[in-house]
Amino acid sequence: MSDIDITVENRQLKVVGTTTADAEPVNSDSTIEYLHKGIAERTFTRVWRLAENVEVESATLRDGLLRIRLFHNIPEAQKPKRIEIKA
């Protein structure tokens, strides 16, 4: 989407939404009345700090909901090891 920008830098996930809805209508003779103008019409910025080894896998926008899929990538050196007990 061109109105939503998602970036990851220094373990910070940043989502920025911009809108051009505040611009004047093309035909200034027509007046537009709104029953309700939702919060989706505003510019926003949200920032989350990601834990170590967390990576952004994908992002989808469906039915007005932005879903960002995160993946916890544990390196081999940090994975738990099973140790056999010898009798």
- Does the pLDDT value for residue 55 go beyond 60? yes
Instruction: List strands edge to edge, sheet with 44-49.
Output: 4-9, 12-17, 44-49
pTM tops 0.75, yes or no: no
Average pLDDT over residues 57-83: 90
Where are the domains positioned within the chain?
1-22+39-87
* pLDDT tens, residue by residue, 3-43: 899 999 999 999 998 877 555 555 555 677 777 766 556 78
Distance CA 79, CA 71 (A): 15
pLDDT score at 34: 75
Of residues 54 and 27, more confidence is placed in 54
Domain 1-22+39-87 matching CATH 1.20.1600.10: the answer reads no
